Amino acid sequence: MSARRWSLTLGVVLVALFALVPLAGWHVPWVLPGTVNVVNATGTLEVLALCFIFGGVALGYDVLFGYTGLLSLGPVTFFGTGVYVFDIALTRWGWSLAAALAVTLVVTLLLALVLGAIALRVGGIAFAMVTLAFAQAFYYLVEDNPHNLTGGDTGLALASNRLPAVLSGAVSNTRSLYWLALVYLVLVGVVVRVVLNSATGRVLVAVRENEQRVEVLGLRPFGFKLAAFTLSSLIAAGGGIVYILLIGTAVPSAVASITLTLSILVMVVLGGPGSAWGPVAGAFVYVYLQQYLLKVAAEPSFASLPAVARVPLSQPQFLLGALFVLFVLFVPGGFAGAVARARARRQSRRPAAPISRGET
């Protein structure tokens, strides 16, 4: 079986297994991130749903970062746009679910085209700084609560009465929202694979490797970079929509801060940029550890430990940062890079095929 077919088969099996998780009531102590050590508990399903959401967002961001070679610090702008426009349309304006979805995607598309056309006039660090400026401007905009639309620091709760019954509450309908997040990740994976395996995807990789050579061939890199920027932005907005359905409240510090952008970048680096599955794996590990370390920090038995052990264990972000630094130092290329190196070593150890007389 070829490596590509094997990866596809493994992906289908994993999706099927994750789809069955809400039906499993196994008790697994010390492994699950929720307060209840049961696989299909509400807390566990919410954490896994967050893994799916940010796995999709990271995969979309990798189209821009890993394949096109553009370091953007602004994916949070479009993730937050998905959250807030959808929430405002339902909660403030009282629109239907279909209308809220449509206006969110249209606003994201127009915003991505405008901001992308501006930011892509420059490259390298300058491009990163421009996208960071847009992200900061968006954060202060929603925090300022213009016309009492966003709720400011207090947040904006989603009006569940405008949603179908199956999506009307994160607690009572956790299974449905979990499956919705899984469907989002699968759809993103399919769209990204189709785009990257097309002629457009090959041009994006060529732009990353040598933009001037692409120009010599008669192609305009700007249009392809704008397409990658727009696709990544739409995927991020889709993740924002699923996020607000799951969490139920939009708060600037959670959905619009630069910290979230850096988290998405860390997810991609952990998994391995420019790989088919690396960003998803990085997102799973990052989100899962982030939630699990919160559980570790609240463990009462750690209070009796010496300060040299108790203090780090009580700071989940410190532990997560330390683990990330160690990972970058000792596992370059992320999970995907480690797997590729292991595969190369295994192939190099295989004995060479004997040469028959007819081939000499």
Task: Give the pLDDT score at 121.
Answer: 94
Q: Are 108 and 116 in contact (CB under 8 A)?
A: no
Residue 164: Cβ within 10 Å count = 10
Residues in the chain, how many?
A: 360
**Residue 233: inside a domain:** yes
Task: Give the pLDDT score at 169.
Answer: 56
The mean predicted confidence, pLDDT, of the chain is 88
Q: Assign 3-state DSSP to the chain and report helix, strand, coil percentages, each to 5.
A: 75, 0, 25
**Residue 355: inside a domain:** no
Residue 125: Cβ within 10 Å count = 9
**Residue 267: inside a domain:** yes
| pLDDT tens, residue by residue, 276-330 | 899 999 999 999 988 888 777 776 666 677 777 667 767 777 778 888 888 888 8
**Residue 206: inside a domain:** yes
**Residue 175: inside a domain:** yes
Give the range of the structural domain holding residue 73, as residue numbers without chain letter: 3-349
**Residue 87: inside a domain:** yes
**Residue 20: inside a domain:** yes
d(CA 317, CA 174): 27
**Residue 359: inside a domain:** no
| pLDDT tens, residue by residue, 215-259 | 988 899 999 999 999 999 999 999 999 999 999 999 999 999 999
| pLDDT tens, residue by residue, 165-185 | 777 655 558 899 999 999 999
Among residues 101, 230, 250, the alpha carbon closest in space to that of 163 is found at 101
Instruction: Say what percent of the chain tops pLDDT 70.
Output: 92
Residue 41 has pLDDT above 50, yes or no: yes
The CATH number for 207's domain is 1.10.3470
Task: Give the pLDDT score at 360.
Answer: 47
**Both tokens assigned to 2:** 């070829």
Among residues 201, 178, 185, the alpha carbon closest in space to that of 45 is found at 178
Q: Are 267 and 56 in contact (CB under 8 A)?
A: no
> How many structural domains are present in the chain?
1
